[in-house]
């Protein structure tokens, strides 16, 4: 696991969507519209990170209107959809925010996240991540994707930076 000093360097929190910000289920209504469930505590933590000066990003291999709407609602700084391979979006993220690998936290759950997790300064796997992903992670959350895992990771970073507490 990464040392607390390393967490103090984090300037960007980037994450996958399906299986990380959601529980991984893809649900279609009767008209074929895709529905997703997002955790409000994850959203609070993301908003809090932004207020504390950290940049936020999403790198997803898929695209959905529900994702676009939620990312706009959260005011995510940079959104990469239909990103495959994800490492290309990650390289762009480093340039966009003018940061190095050690300044980035990436939260993932499955094989498409492996290359990015292998590079990020703080690699986080959600509790329900694939075993191979957990092996490359610096930290594995206790909470599952879509059920507070993002909040757990963000809280860990902000606490290490002395920026977490009751507002």
In angstroms, the CA 70 to CA 38 distance is 8
Q: From its phi and psi, is residue 73 left (phi > 0), alpha (psi between -120 and 50) or beta?
A: alpha
pTM value is 0.96
Task: Tell me whether residue 72 is in a domain.
Answer: yes
Number of compact structural domains in the chain: 1
Which CATH number fits the domain that encloses residue 104? 3.40.50.1000
Task: Tell me whether residue 71 is in a domain.
Answer: yes
Tell me the per-residue pLDDT of 48-84, one tens digit each, with 9 for 90 and over: 999 999 999 999 999 999 999 999 999 999 999 999 9
Alpha helix segments (H runs only) across 75-126: 86-97, 114-119
Tell me the per-residue pLDDT of 10-59, one tens digit each, with 9 for 90 and over: 999 999 999 999 999 999 999 999 999 999 999 999 999 999 999 999 99
Task: Tell me whether residue 30 is in a domain.
Answer: yes
Sign of CA pseudo-dihedral 59, 116, 110, 163: negative
Task: Tell me whether residue 166 is in a domain.
Answer: no
Cα 139 to chain centroid distance, Å, stands at 13
Domain that holds residue 144: 4-160
């Amino acid at each position: 696991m990464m040392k607390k000093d390393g967490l103090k360097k984090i300037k960007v929190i980037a994450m996958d969507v399906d299986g990380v910000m959601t529980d991984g289920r893809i649900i279609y209504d009767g008209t074929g519209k895709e529905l997703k469930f997002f955790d409000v505590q994850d959203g609070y933590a993301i908003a809090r990170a932004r207020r504390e000066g950290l940049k936020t990003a999403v790198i997803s291999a898929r695209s959905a209107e529900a994702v676009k709407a939620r990312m706009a609602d959260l005011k995510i700084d940079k959104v990469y959809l239909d990103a495959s391979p994800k490492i290309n979006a990650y390289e762009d993220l480093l340039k966009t925010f003018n940061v190095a690998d050690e300044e980035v936290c990436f939260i993932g759950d499955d094989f498409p996240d492996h290359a990015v997790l292998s590079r990020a300064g703080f690699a986080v796997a959600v509790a329900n991540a694939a075993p191979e992903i957990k092996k490359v992670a610096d930290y594995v959350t206790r909470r599952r994707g879509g059920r507070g895992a993002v909040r757990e990771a963000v809280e860990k970073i902000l606490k290490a930076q002395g920026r977490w507490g009751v507002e």
